[in-house]
């Protein structure tokens, strides 16, 4: 099965991106996958491959439960290349008690989490019976829940060996990061932990760390972070940090940015692309499944790939150049843009508004807002109106639209607002816009 643009669940359920890597000339992107319905359940890793980050080919299931450690799921993790092999790290979970009426659900949220690895010789074959190993046992029970809530290994090559960061929780319901080091990718030693004060969430999921030319960045997804009573509480944040590999000391400032100001994206993961750019994708949480004629219902998709850069202490998320190439066919009318979505570029003046098929993007002074009230599920539990912080660099908007997601890049990624949508119309009304350009999808293979 092929997909162009965003990667979507090939039927059923997907959540976090996993094992994102450029390996032997191809991009591999795995994802948390439940193959038996459009709800979260026993986690497998689905797998997709791409030459260019926009033309994706689904490969089916790579990882599935076979061992005591991962009996109830292969949770999130990452991939590295070593001696030509693809090495995957993930969290295996084992429930204390499964719901007898639905074995895909854990009773009382109590389970053991261990960190596991799986080796694939070629990134294509995955022997779930032979090639898995536990590398970090479940934590000793300390009465604070970290035996259950320690997960999502992200591994990278440091200057003096391999480093792993895990998301976890500590005393007083505070999230934290745990750092480990290894010289052989098999034996891991605990080095350090890092946390913040109150108000930073009770568990930090899916950490990622990387260096850019402009600074070192940490990204993670604290649970219980946005407390306005609406979904979702768990939000991905990022910040520029000071990280010393020796002793894995991380100095985290008090200021943070949201990954995305639409608050729908979660659990991002990054890798380095072919040209050495830091590229990241995130999961779009979708409150209901999409059911289309002749298709298996599906729920969950990924953002477009974004290049992460740091300038003057600010983290930018710029749309990947291959996405721009994909949407490079000038069109006059939105009705001529076809099935694969489109890119609308414009400058927005104060008081201006773009209505993208029922999804409104507007400018109020130095902020950009969005409103999806007319193209989303109804109900008080859902956030429908969004706003960026004050913008500094102008009001250039690059809006990428597809059937179930709108991504608004402001000033080439100074801020991004992305939202899931349902029932978007193929219409476009603009007031207060200038330099308007519209692009449909092109056949990218012809350009590469
Ligand atoms: C984040 C997360 C991870 C976990 C995975 C399970 O969305 O909860 O922490 O590994 O999803 O599917």
pLDDT tens-digit series, residues 170-184: 988 999 999 999 999
pLDDT for residue 231: 87
Residues 155 and 79: their CA atoms lie apart, in Å, by 7
- Is the whole model's pTM more than 0.95, yes or no? yes
Identify the segments of the chain with pLDDT beneath 50: 446-448
Question: Counting atoms of ligand 1 from 1, which one is nearest the CA of 76?
Answer: 10
Same domain, 265 and 244: yes
Judge whether 312 counts as a catalytic residue.
no
Q: Probe ligand 1: pick from 9, 15, 89, 115, max atoms within 8 Å of CB?
A: 15
Exactly one of 16, 70, 112, 371 is catalytic; which is it?
A: 16
pLDDT for residue 251: 98
Same domain, 12 and 150: yes
Give the closest residue to 341 by CA, choosing from 280, 421, 416.
421
The answer to whether the CB of 203 falls within 8 A of the CB of 215 is no
Q: Torsion angle of alpha carbons 98, 104, 108, 113, nearest 10°?
A: 90
Same domain, 286 and 339: no
Segments forming the whole domain that contains residue 342: 327-447
Same domain, 316 and 331: no
pLDDT for residue 61: 98
Same domain, 290 and 355: no
Residues 424 and 413: their CA atoms lie apart, in Å, by 24
| CATH code at position 331 | 2.60.120.560
> Looking at 295, 320, 345, which one is the last position of a domain?
320
Which 3 state secondary structure label does DSSP give 201?
A: coil
Same domain, 409 and 429: yes
Distance 291 CA to ligand 1 centre (A): 24
Residues 202 and 200: their CA atoms lie apart, in Å, by 7
pLDDT for residue 171: 87
Same domain, 71 and 204: yes
Q: Residues with Cβ within 6 A of ligand 1?
A: 15-16, 32, 43, 75-76, 91, 151-152, 205-206, 266-267
Number of domains in the chain: 2
Same domain, 157 and 296: yes
Same domain, 249 and 331: no
Residues 447 and 440: their CA atoms lie apart, in Å, by 15
For residues 260-276, one letter each, b for 16 or more C-beta atoms within 10 angstroms of the residue's C-beta and e for the rest, the string is bbbbbbbbbbbbebeee
Residues 154 and 37: their CA atoms lie apart, in Å, by 28
> Looking at 320, 335, 362, which one is the last position of a domain?
320
Question: Counting atoms of ligand 1 from 1, which one is nearest the CA of 40?
Answer: 12
């Amino acid at each position: 099965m092929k997909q162009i643009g965003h990667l979507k669940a090939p039927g059923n359920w997907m959540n976090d991106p996993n094992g994102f890597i450029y390996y032997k000339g191809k991009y591999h992107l795995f994802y948390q996958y439940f193959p038996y319905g459009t709800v979260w359940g026993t986690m497998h890793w689905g797998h997709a491959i791409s030459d260019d980050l926009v033309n994706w080919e689904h490969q089916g299931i790579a990882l599935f439960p076979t061992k005591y450690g991962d009996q109830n799921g292969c949770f999130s993790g990452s991939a590295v290349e070593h001696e030509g092999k693809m090495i995957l790290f993930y969290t295996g979970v084992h429930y204390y008690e499964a719901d007898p009426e639905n074995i895909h659900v854990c009773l009382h949220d109590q389970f053991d989490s261990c960190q596991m690895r799986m080796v694939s010789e070629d990134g294509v074959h995955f022997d779930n019976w032979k090639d898995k190993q536990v590398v970090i046992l479940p934590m000793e029970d300390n009465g604070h829940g970290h035996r259950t809530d320690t997960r999502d290994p992200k591994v990278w090559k440091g200057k003096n060996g391999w480093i792993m960061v895990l998301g976890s929780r500590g005393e007083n319901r505070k999230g934290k990061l745990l750092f480990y080091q290894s010289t052989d990718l098999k034996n891991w030693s605990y080095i350090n932990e890092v946390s913040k004060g109150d108000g930073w969430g009770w568990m930090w999921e899916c950490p990622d760390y990387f260096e850019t030319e402009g600074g070192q960045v940490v990204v993670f997804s604290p649970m219980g972070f946005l407390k306005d009573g609406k979904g979702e509480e768990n939000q991905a944040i990022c910040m520029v940090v000071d990280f010393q590999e020796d002793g894995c000391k991380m100095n985290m400032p008090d200021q943070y940015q949201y990954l995305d100001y639409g608050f729908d994206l979660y659990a991002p993961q990054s890798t380095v692309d072919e040209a050495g750019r830091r590229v990241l994708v995130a999961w779009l949480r979708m409150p209901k499944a999409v059911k289309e004629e002749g298709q298996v219902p599906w729920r969950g998709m990924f953002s477009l790939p974004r290049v992460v850069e740091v300038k003057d202490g600010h983290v930018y998320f710029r749309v990947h150049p291959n996405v721009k190439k994909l949407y490079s066919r000038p069109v006059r009318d939105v009705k001529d843009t076809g099935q694969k979505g489109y890119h609308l570029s414009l400058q927005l003046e104060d008081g201006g508004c773009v209505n993208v098929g029922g999804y409104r993007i507007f400018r109020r002074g130095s902020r950009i807002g969005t409103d999806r009230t007319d193209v989303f599920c109804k109900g008080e539990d859902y956030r429908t109106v969004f706003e960026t912080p004050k913008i500094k660099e102008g009001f250039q908007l690059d809006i990428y639209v597809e059937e179930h997601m709108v991504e608004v890049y402001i000033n080439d990624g100074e801020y991004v607002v992305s939202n899931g949508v349902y029932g978007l119309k193929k219409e476009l009304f603009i007031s207060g816009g200038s330099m308007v350009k519209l692009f449909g999808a092109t056949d990218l293979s012809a350009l590469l």
